[in-house]
Amino acid sequence: MRTTISHNVENPEVFKQKLLLWSQQFHEVVWLDSNNYEQTYSSFDAVLAVDAMSSVQTNHCDAFNTLKQYQSNCKDWILGYLTYDLKNDVEPLESHNFDGLEFPDLYFFQPKKLFLLKGNQVEIQYLDIVENDLKTDLKNIQQMNKSTNQQNQDSVKIKMRIHKDAYFEKVNRVLEHIHRGDVYEVNFCQEFYAEDTTINPLETYFKLNEISKPPFATFLRLNDLFLMSSSPERYLKKEGHSIISEPIKGTAKRSMNADEDLQLKTDLSQDEKERSENIMILDLVRNDLSKTAKKGSVRVVELCKVYSFKQVHQMISTVVSEIENSVHPVDVLKSTFPMGSMTGAPKISAMNIIETLEETKRSLYSGAVGYFTPDGNFDFNVVIRSILYNESNNYVSYSVGGAITAKSDPLKEYEECLIKAKAMRDVLEN
């Protein structure tokens, strides 16, 4: 059972910062922040969960059934992540590429302490075994000061896993597959990394979030493993019987000049190649959702709409469906994973090509982070625009990618990757 109180905060932004600073004493942390970005389907402005009462951790083998059992038995808030390589549980696929990060394939935990922020109100839910901590914790949160966490961080020397010429060669191989009819679209990604490197995860997150202010920002800690994400993309949300997916495909840079920026946004909305990318993935998502949907309930509510973020313009479509009471929430995730925006179409063919041409395991990149509520609702982001860090291995990584279609120009695809990578690189290189 949980003890629940509602607490009023004068300045939500200051409280959020103090809350995240306070959370660093714990070994299990999930922080989700909308950055007050206007979202049609948002339930909370921010969520913090810390300190595991129970947890589940596994590799890809039978992972979704393991999660299903854990969620069903727990009947409480659980938060955690799904890595991209859970594809190997869904389909007869394998992953043998290099992995410098070594995240478990799946991890979820039931938090002893939970904070749900909306406007000037924070709902605080503590498991009864720690309810006596509540007043003390609130006092300690208010006393937190950002300067206590700050430390000088050396500039990180970033290396490319796939150099420019090799990238062109690999994209041309993807195009050969497309022209042969093996696949319509492949989301091809490359890793940037640093070895023998120490960073301050929370300070890195603060800097990344300040640059981007995305609607699905995440700070995640699992012992010595960290995710700092400035994701703009929702993977999947369940609210009652409704399922919502908002795939992103189509990117354009921003400009400081208002007229030029508006032109860049307009050009993206009318770009034939970008629209075709988006619609291909939208069709894939519709097909995925139909596996669990009531007949005739899958519908597109927004097609190729361009949204503006601090770093980039993005083309986003929204598709919804309705499910029966009998459908388990984990089955909705399993039937749509990995998200089409990070694979391509057809999905299995695209994933096989990805495995052959990419040189590292994606790990948590292009996976998802989110939560389940006690009544089986959920909300998950897509892990993109993110920095991953294994503190014990002193290994830092971020990956970026783009959709390769028949109309792709390798040079333009490469330049789009650099646009997407800019915020992570700026943060790490100071």
Q: How far is CA 239 from the centre of its chain?
A: 19
**315 CB-side CA count, 13 A:** 28
Q: Give Dmax over CA atoms of the chain in angstroms.
A: 65
Query: Which positions are annotated as active-site residues?
Result: 233, 249
- The helix or strand, by DSSP H or E, that contains position 31, with its residue range, turns out to be strand 28-33
User: How many other β-carbons are positioned within 10 Å of the β-carbon of residue 196?
Assistant: 9
Cα-atom radius of gyration of the chain, to the nearest Å?
Answer: 21
Tell me how many degrees the CA angle 70-47-316 measures, rounded to the nearest 5.
Answer: 95
Q: How many helices (H) and strands (E) are present in the chain, helices listed first? A: 11, 20
CA-nearest of 137, 408, 107 to 277 is: 408
Residues 306, 308, 312, 317, Cα dihedral to 10°: -30
**Secondary structure (DSSP) of 251-306:** EEE--SSHHHHHHHHHHHHH-HHHHHHHHHHHHHHHHHHHTTBPTT--EEEEEEEE
Q: What is the rounded end-to-end Cα distance, in angstroms, of the chain? A: 45
- Residue 336 Cα distances to 90, 229, 352, 397, angstroms: 9, 22, 17, 26
Whether the CB-CB separation of 297 and 322 falls below 8 Å is answered with yes
Q: Please state, in angstroms and rounded to a whole number, the distance separating the CA atoms of residues 398 and 421.
A: 8
